[in-house]
Amino acid sequence: MQQKINRLKSIFGEDIMRLAIILAFLIVMPIASPYFLNIKNMMNILQNISLQGITAIGMTIVIITGGIDISTGGVCAFTAWIAASLMKSGTNWMLACVCAILIAMVCGSINAFSIGIMKIPPMIATLAMMNMTRGLQTVISRGTTLTGLPESFQFIGQGLLFGIIPLPAIIIVVFYLSASWFMSRTILGRNIYAVGGNPEAARVAGIRNTRVIFFAYILCSVLACIAGLIFVSRTNSAPATLGNNLEMRAIMAAVIGGTSVTFGGKGKIMGTFLGVIIVGLITNALDLLGVSAYYQQFIQGVLVLSVVILEAIRTMRVARQH
Amino acid sequence: MEQKIIVNMKNITMSFSGNKVLDNVNFDLRRGEVHSIMGANGAGKSTLIKILNGIYNTPFGEIEIDGKKVNIKTPSDAEKYGLAFVHQELNVCNDMTVAENMYIGNWIRDKYGLYDKKATSEKAKELLNIMGVSIDPDVPVRRLRTAEKQIIEILKTLTREAKVVILDEPTSSLNEAEKENFFGILERMKKKGVSIIFISHFLEDVFRLSDRVTVLKDGLNNGVFYRGHYTKDDLVVAMMGKKIANEVSDTLTISEDAPVILELQNFTSEKKFSNVSIKIHKGDIVGVCGLLGAGKTELAKAIFGIDDYDSGKLFLYGEEIKKPRPDLMIKKKVALLTEERKLEGFIPLMSIKENTTLSIMKTLANKLGIIYKSEQERFANNISEQMTIKMSSINQSVISLSGGNQQKVVIAKCLASEPKLFLLDEPTRGVDVYAKSEIYKILRDFAEKGTTIIIFSSELEELLANCSKIIVLKKGQVVDEVSAKNLTKNSLLSMIG
């Protein structure tokens, strides 16, 4: 029994606060809105968080390497738009998606090249990539929205399993479980933590830091692209505003999830998952309560600040005990 | 005449989660006195100092300053009472000038209340002159050597009119010549009436400098020694409760026929070292010594492929290595223990388990890179036991260990890959005497099993006690290669200086 409790503690110990927030929602919200606990609404939440949720996986990994990637919104928009326009011109949708992912890989490689080899600060390197991708997307889209995509492609975003569970909800859960397993159980995953925790020590231990950096940034771009494709499929449209603020929402989820932006090597995929869920719950709750979108953004800001401050207090306490 | 007592700590008791770290410790400091605190890692030295600094608070015990009872709750309280702390890690602003660093946060203002650059520089110059330091106050601190930066940190305390200066391991990165200079500065500070608390692992320095030495052991005050009334052995006995045998490995003789493991031919890296040609035989323990800046660290890093070199040849087991790279060298069974433990040695947030297995993960995983957890645990448990690491479990994070145990983790990480050639750069810096002797023993065991060891160190005793021969570096060049047998510290000193 004691062992079980310890195990639970080691899994959830750092996530108590996040779980408590989620629990608070599950208790309070049904009183405020009877519609909240409806299974359809729950599925709706999972579906709605898929865009920033999948992007946040890559973001968390990049932040753990000690970097940041603010080009994810741009990469997402650019690649998803290309995929959509290829489909419109009659290309097979799978081929179009593969093209988009390949372009995302190129974007990620350029980021990694600037950061890992040219040693440009991640914020600057990815800022440039953000501008390039956003710029190109504006050029080719000219501000228009593409709709009317192939039905078979729409199935990814709109399909239902057992007639109730939307595919994006399944995809996001599967992605998080595999990413979490990958980060804790594979050499590459642990190397990501090592490189972020102390790049010099990692190098001395024979880890090839540049490779790890390349992997992280490419993965981050590819996940942003996949997130964009799912979004386009779900809404059957590729709007010019696709992925606006996506990078900020992904960073927000990672930070609420306990990933440290101050120094690398600290963070958990499942923490980010909880972070994504918290953001999703809040948005949903505020929607149900009829709060305007402008307030929502403000409330999200308040939430990030309070979580980060609470986390800081906890860290200080732990530091004092040692 | 007995000088007035400035700081008096009475019956200090402190526990962390039930463990008594300090038990009724008394400590007092007189005006113009150097009072050293010694003890093994974990004896309670740093806790005592942190209480004085206001980082830890304890309800048990009293602190008096100038005879008045005070309550030091935060570091800024400590500063208010004229206590100045110089930590082992340097806190300088590299891109500000020497003068600015000395007066940081305590700026000299002109009559309009604006920062007076000229007056700052002049006052700094005056202080530097008084203390006999020849450093230009107007150069950025980045251009100074580590030893000089340390001096600036100490002089900073004087600009704040500190009555008491607490120095934590100040000599660990100084070479012999710099130490002389440093001791001179401390003497002058004493004459000005400043009292000094000196915390150090270096017996020699403590012995030479202190008017009094307090030795802590397991949280207890284990004796106070007065200048001229004790020997170094007394200190060791008080610290460890046992005598550490000064084993000299005169049994280590390597025949010239043993296979050559490492050979360097005219190894050169501009401005770091030049024309280094050496041959190291199997199973040997070789020392490379020299002052700070002689090129020891640079040489070690170039051999391991962390830094580039310009020309020359490197042969490993007789085979030429054109472009060494850390991951390649590890594959070829070479390991390097780097000088800066915190910067390059370990991943602080990771556990002992992960740090010790960091460079051998490939052997603990399948082809897809999925880690066999139980094998990783078994391996980490074995090597931690072998290295006598004091820990609660292998899942403890390395940052929470004491300095000596951190170093053992880093050595374990290197030895995990079963190196045939093990390069160690300053392997025992900041490690207590007892842990040191354990580390030496482990190294000797590995040498007997055929591992070739090269120790790059500026601690002469360490080299004399452990190596069969010593290569002397001076300004990046090999000036001598001598057998360690019958070599004295003084003759070695004259070679490196």
Q: How far apart are CA B135 and CA B145, in angstroms?
A: 11
Confidence of residue A136 (pLDDT cuts 50, 70, 90): very high
Whether B103 and chain A come into contact, CB under 8 Å, resolves to: no
Note the pLDDT of residue A39: 84
Q: Does B350 touch chain A (CB under 8 A)?
A: yes
Nearest Cα of chain A lies from the Cα of B371 at a distance, in angstroms, of 5
Residues of A in contact with B345 (CB under 8 A): 201, 204
For B25, list phi and psi in degrees, rounded to 5: -85, 135
Which of B183, B179, B118, B130 minimizes the C-alpha distance to B158? B130
A45: in domain = yes
* Number of folded domains that form chain A: 1
Interface of A with B (CB under 8 A): 185-188, 190-191, 193-194, 197-198, 200-208, 265-266, 321-322
Q: Phi, psi (5° rounding) for residue B215?
A: -110, 125
Degrees, nearest 5: CA angle A78-A79-A82: 90
Phi/psi zone of residue B369: left (φ > 0), alpha (ψ -120 to 50 degrees), beta? Answer: left
Task: Give dist(CA B209, CA B129) in Å, integer.
Answer: 22
Are residues B240 and B246 in contact, defined by beta-carbon separation less than 8 angstroms?
Answer: no
**In this complex, do A205 and B359 lie within 8 Å of one another by their Cβ atoms?**
yes
Could you tell me the two tokens for A67?
Answer: 């970097």
- Given an 8 Å threshold on Cβ–Cβ distance, is A194 in contact with B327? no
* Helical packing angle, A269-288 and A293-321, nearest 10°: 140
Q: Are B489 and B282 in contact (CB under 8 A)?
A: no
pLDDT tens for A109-130 read 999 999 999 999 999 999 999 9
d(CA B198, CA B219): 18
Supply the pLDDT for residue A218. 98
- Whether A82 has a pLDDT exceeding 90, the answer reads yes
H or E segment to which residue B51 belongs: helix B45-53
Assigned token pair, B256 = 């010239």
| Mean pLDDT of all residues belonging to chain A | 89
Q: Rounded to an integer, what distance in angstroms lies between the CA atom of residue A31 and that of residue A273? A: 25
Distance from CA of B345 to the nearest CA of A (A): 5
**Would A122 be classed as within a structural domain?**
yes
Taking each helix axis from N to C terminus, what angle separates A246-256 and A269-288, rounded to the nearest 10 degrees? 110
Q: Which long-range contacts (CB under 8 A, 24 or more apart) does A116-125 make?
A: A116/A209, A116/A210, A116/A213, A116/A214, A116/A217, A117/A210, A122/A62, A122/A67, A122/A68, A122/A69, A123/A68, A123/A70
Closest chain A CA to residue B348: A197
| Residue range(s) defining the domain that contains residue A163 | 41-314
CATH number (domain holding residue A284): 1.10.3470
User: Does residue A85 sit in helix, strand or coil?
Assistant: helix
Q: How long, in residues, is chain A?
A: 322
Q: Residue A161: CB partners within 8 Å, gap ≥ 6? A: A167, A170
Lowest mean pLDDT among A57-61, A158-162, A195-199, B379-383: A158-162
Interface test with B, best of A9, A187, A190, A204 (most B CBs within 10 A): A204
More confident residue, A14 or B110: B110
**For chain A, give me the number of helices (H) and strands (E)?**
15, 4
Confidence at residue A277, expressed as pLDDT on a 0 to 100 scale:
93
Bridge-partner residues for B317, per DSSP?
Answer: none
Which among B348, B354, B400 has CB closest to A190? B354
pLDDT at A314: 75
Positions in chain B short of pLDDT 50 = 1
- Give A42→chain B minimum CA distance, Å: 34
pLDDT the model gives residue A31: 87
Distance from CA of B245 to the nearest CA of A (A): 33
pLDDT at B246: 52
Q: Is residue A161 part of a domain?
A: yes
Nearest to B279 by CA among B252, B295, B296, B257: B257
| Alpha-carbon gap, residue B254 to B251, rounded angstroms | 9
Instruction: For residues B234 and B237, give the distance between their C-alpha atoms in angstroms, rounded to a whole number.
Output: 5
Task: Sort strands B34-38 and B212-217 into parallel, antiparallel or unpaired.
Answer: parallel
DSSP state at residue B9: E
Contact A185 B373 (CB under 8 A): yes
Structure tokens at B455: 């120790």
> For strand B164-168 and strand B60-65, is the pairing parallel, antiparallel, or unpaired?
unpaired
Helix axes A16-32, A293-321, angle to 10 degrees: 150
Q: Is A27 a domain residue? A: no
By Cβ distance, the residue of A185, A197, A203 closest to B350 is A197
Q: Please report the pLDDT score of residue B1 as a whole number.
A: 45
pTM for this prediction: 0.77
Q: Could you tell me the end-to-end alpha-carbon distance of chain B, in angstroms, rounded to an integer?
A: 40
The reported pLDDT for the residue numbered A4 is 67
Among the partner-chain residues A185, A194, A322, the one whose CB lies closest to the CB of B358 is: A194
C-alpha to C-alpha distance for B240 and A251, rounded to whole angstroms: 51
CB of B296 less than 8 A from some CB of A:
no
Structural domain contains residue A1: no
Closest to A220 (Cα-Cα) out of A95, A98, A54, A50? A54
- For residues A251 and B138, give the distance between their C-alpha atoms in angstroms, rounded to a whole number: 43
Q: Of A85, A190, A46, nearest to B371 (Cα)?
A: A190
Give one DSSP letter per residue of B247-265, joined into a string. ---TT----TTSPEEEEEE
Cβ atoms within 10 Å of B147's Cβ, excluding its own: 20
Least confident of A7-21, A29-43, B180-194: A7-21
Better-predicted residue by pLDDT, B260 or A320: B260
pLDDT at B445: 87
pLDDT digits (tens, 9 = 90+) for A97-110: 999 999 999 999 99
Distance CA A24, CA A111 (A): 40
Pairing verdict, β B220-226 and B60-65: unpaired
* Cα Rg, chain A, nearest whole Å: 20
Q: What is the DSSP letter of B32?
A: T
Q: Are A239 and B359 in contact (CB under 8 A)?
A: no
Quick check: A200 and A206 in contact, CB under 8 A?
Answer: no
Mutation target to probe the A interface, by most A beta carbons within 10 A, among B55, B297, B344 is B344
* Contacts for B114 with CB less than 8 Å, ≥ 6 apart: none
Strand partners, B198: B36, B167
Phi, psi of B74 (to 5 degrees): -135, 165
Q: Is residue A30 part of a domain?
A: no
- 3-class DSSP assignment, residue B280: strand
